[in-house]
Amino acid sequence: MKVLVTVKEVAEVADDFEIAGTEVDERYLEYDLNEWDDYAVEEAVQLKEDGPAEEVVTVTVGPERSEETIRMALAKGADRAVRVWDDALEDAGLLDVETKTNLLEAVVEEEDPDLVLTGVQAGDDAFGATGVSLADELGFQWGAVVNALDYDADENVAHVHRELEGGVEELTDIDLPAVLTIQTGINEPRYASLRGIRQAQSKEIAPKSLDDLGLDAGAIESDLEVTSMYEPESESDAEIFEGDASETAGELAEVLREKGVAE
Amino acid sequence: MSDVLAVAEHRRGDLRDVSFELLTAGRQLADATGGDLHVAVVSGDTESFADDLNREGVDAIHTVSEGEEFNHDVYTQAVEALHAELDPEILVMPNSVNGLDYAPAVANRLDLPLVTDAVDFDYDGGLTVTREMYGSKVETTVDVAGDQQAVTIRGAEWPAAEGVGDADIAEFDVDIDADAGSTVTGFEEVGGGDVDISEADFIVSIGRGIEEEDNLPLIEDLVEATGATLASSRPIVDNGWLPKNRQVGQSGKVVTPDVYLAIGISGAVQHVAGMKGADTIIAVNTDPNAPIFDIADYGIVGDLFEVVPELIEQFE
């Protein structure tokens, strides 16, 4: 079977930063592979190593800069990559779930995978909705927040655990083709090996414009507009201990004794 | 078309807290739109759920008696049909694991703009949603276009609705195609193990700040010296450094100790959901802007690798 993994390059914000208009000033952003997608890539690569998957393809919606992140996924074992970008996307602002669904749907139709893995959410805008929306649009089955996956090739069924709140997991059987949104902790993502990094240089990253995907500008009209961005006000009334480590530890110890939890 | 429809959530026979928070959020929106607040409850013992959901400010409750537990195919079809019937302006659902398993499908089918994880709304002829980005480092306000919208709300951001209401309660018949391709086969409690952190009086909890597994013995020395119980935030468990039964948070255990000492924990909202009920919260973190300090009673802005050895010395 063929596995398609959605890979997002997300921006991380430095501890100290400034906001310019409705965006974090570019100077304070660092780009990296979305944490949840790292687990999704690992799960796909393991499906290939264990046998059921013949090919692992990644798809990213992102500018040329994101190729660095895509190479990370290729170095970890994905076979090739598709990168969707267009000048129209450059100016689009916050992409809504429908827009991302439209773009990814066009790629899925071209690639025809049996299984699509996405991260549960992206570390930057944290919508957590694209995978399920995509599945519904495609007429695929789906499972959200999957933290264990056991694929049964004979039945073509994914036996999954969905991580609910409060330490409970739901056990669900999902027919393929399907989209699963992958939770952190499902596996242990590997580091890219030097050999992997070298090999990734020669793997294909196919750029696709809206035109290539048979889409027009209407497909990326977002219903959402960010109108303001600000740092949340701190509501802290914590008593902060001042001094060197010995002094602060002393005060902390005092509190623990006062509360009667340590002697 | 100015009504609001909120969808309740339950699990294993109990309505979840977010259901009552949805009533408050839904009422807030309905007051702004000038419409009625409709509530849907799907699957399980809908009759008793409906009685419980009949709180002040609820105008109508629609029950869909199909299935026992959450199933996304049933929920998607039920909410889609109810939305078509009621034609509400705003559809509100929980930003829970199950909410995120059907809300995007409903929004897609109904062609509604979807905003997830709302922490506040503003309505002035059109909907504006407040939400966080970049791991809670910034808040944004987002204008949502269109005549109808779908929103999921973050748990514990609105107070639970109280009082007794006089809503009309009625069964809503939906022709559900039960031959969908996913089947819930059961539930499993995670973790197990020998320690129940939810029983502990004093918890020392560690997060990403401890950097690597080799630093775990330092914390274990502190636990040993103080007689505390060791717990952690999610990344520590994801890395396999501690078993799942030690995880505090939304997807782990909820703890209510006398003292919760958070070491190298930034205080992501999912973690805070599991420990904010502690009597006294103490945080040790190098980042003075870490959200954990917003809920802490005492704090040390400093390097845990300097503070913890000194603290151990205090108790040896």
- Chain A interface, mutation test: which of B74, B134, B212, B246, most A Cβ atoms within 10 Å? B134
Same domain, B51 and B156: yes
Q: Flag whether B192 is in a domain.
A: no
Q: Does B307 touch chain A (CB under 8 A)?
A: yes
Same domain, B10 and B73: yes
Check residue B139 and give its pLDDT. 95
Q: What is the DSSP letter of B295?
A: H
What distance in Å separates residue A235's CA from the closest CA in chain B? 5
Q: Flag whether B180 is in a domain.
A: no
Q: What is the pLDDT of residues A71-83, one digit of tens each?
A: 999 999 999 999 9
Helix B216-226 / helix B304-315 crossing angle, nearest 10 deg = 30
Which residue of A127, A145, A166 is in closest CB contact with B116? A127
Same domain, B146 and B237: no
Check residue B192 and give its pLDDT. 64
- When pLDDT is averaged across residues A186-198 and rounded to a whole number, the result is 96
Quote the number of domains for chain B.
2
Q: Flag whether B181 is in a domain.
A: no
> What is the residue range of B294's domain?
197-315
Check residue B183 and give its pLDDT. 87
Same domain, B205 and B302: yes
CA distance A44 to A3: 6
Which residues are CB-contacts of B6 (< 8 A; sequence separation ≥ 6)?
Answer: B22, B23, B25, B26, B37, B38, B39, B40, B91, B92, B93
Please check whether residue B45 is in contact with residue B78, taking contact to mean a CB–CB distance below 8 angstroms.
Answer: no
- Amino acid at site A54: E
Check residue B1 and give its pLDDT. 67
Which residue of A127, A228, A253 is in closest CB contact with B311? A253
Could you state, in chain order, the average pLDDT of each consecutive group of 10 residues for chain B (316 residues)? 94 96 98 97 97 98 95 96 98 98 98 98 96 93 97 96 96 86 86 81 97 96 96 94 93 94 94 94 93 95 96 93
Per-residue DSSP letters for B167-214? -EEEE---------SEEEEEEEE---SS--GGG-SEEEEE-GGG-SGG
Same domain, B77 and B17: yes
Q: Does B297 touch chain A (CB under 8 A)?
A: yes
CATH number for the domain harbouring residue B110: 3.40.50.620
Which residues are CB-contacts of A155 (< 8 A; sequence separation ≥ 6)?
Answer: none
Which residue of A168, A169, A223 is in closest CB contact with B145? A223
Tokens standing for residue B218: 């330092």
Q: What is the pLDDT of residues A78-109, one digit of tens each?
A: 999 999 999 999 888 889 999 999 999 999 99
CA distance A243 to A240: 10
Phi, psi for residue B203 in degrees, rounded to 5? -115, 130
Three-state secondary-structure class, residue A130: helix
CA distance A18 to B73: 44
Same domain, B207 and B156: no
CA distance B16 to B93: 12
Q: What is the pLDDT of residues A118-153, one digit of tens each?
A: 999 999 999 999 999 999 999 999 999 999 999 999
Q: Flag whether B190 is in a domain.
A: no
Check residue A261 and give its pLDDT. 93
Q: Is the pLDDT of residue A187 over 80?
A: yes
Residue of B nearest to A127 (CA): B116
CA distance B251 to B242: 15
pTM of the model: 0.95
Classify residue A259 as left (phi > 0), alpha (psi -120 to 50) or beta.
Answer: alpha
**Record: contact A224-B109, CB cut-off 8 A:** no
Single residue among B107, B136, B171 that ends a domain in this structure:
B171
Single residue among B136, B171, B206 that ends a domain in this structure:
B171
Q: Which residue has the higher pLDDT, A233 or B21?
A: B21
Q: Is the pLDDT of residue A233 over 90?
A: no
Please check whether residue B232 is in contact with residue B205, taking contact to mean a CB–CB distance below 8 angstroms.
Answer: yes
Classify residue B231 as left (phi > 0), alpha (psi -120 to 50) or beta.
Answer: beta
**Record: contact A13-B299, CB cut-off 8 A:** no
Same domain, B103 and B214: no
Chain A CB contacts of B76 under 8 Å are 136
Tell me the CA end-to-end span of chain A in Å, nearest whole number: 60
Please check whether residue B54 is in contact with residue B167, taking contact to mean a CB–CB distance below 8 angstroms.
Answer: yes
Half-sphere exposure of A217 (CA within 13 A, CB side): 5
Q: What is the DSSP letter of B215?
A: G
- When pLDDT is averaged across residues A2-30 and rounded to a whole number, the result is 94
Residue of A nearest to B257 (CA): A261
Which residue of A128, A188, A227 is in closest CB contact with B142? A227
Same domain, B159 and B202: no
Chain A CB contacts of B191 under 8 Å are 167
Check residue B194 and give its pLDDT. 73
- Convert A157-201 into a string of H (helix), E (strand) and C (coil): EEEEEEECCCCEEEEEEEECCEEEEECCCCCCCCCCCHHHHHHHC
Which residue of A133, A141, A165 is in closest CB contact with B104? A133
Tokens standing for residue A134: 């995509």
ipTM over 0.90: yes
Average pLDDT of the residues of chain A: 95
**Record: contact B104-A97, CB cut-off 8 A:** yes
C-alpha to C-alpha distances, B242 to B32, B295, B300, nearest whole angstrom: 47, 25, 25
Chain B CB contacts of A127 under 8 Å are 114, 116-117
Q: Does B170 touch chain A (CB under 8 A)?
A: no
CATH number for the domain harbouring residue B246: 3.40.50.1220
**Record: contact B315-A263, CB cut-off 8 A:** yes
**Record: contact A230-B139, CB cut-off 8 A:** yes
Nearest to B127 by CA among B56, B30, B6: B30
**Record: contact A224-B244, CB cut-off 8 A:** no
Tokens standing for residue A161: 């655990």
Q: Flag whether B115 is in a domain.
A: yes
Same domain, B167 and B201: no
Same domain, B267 and B161: no
Same domain, B31 and B121: yes
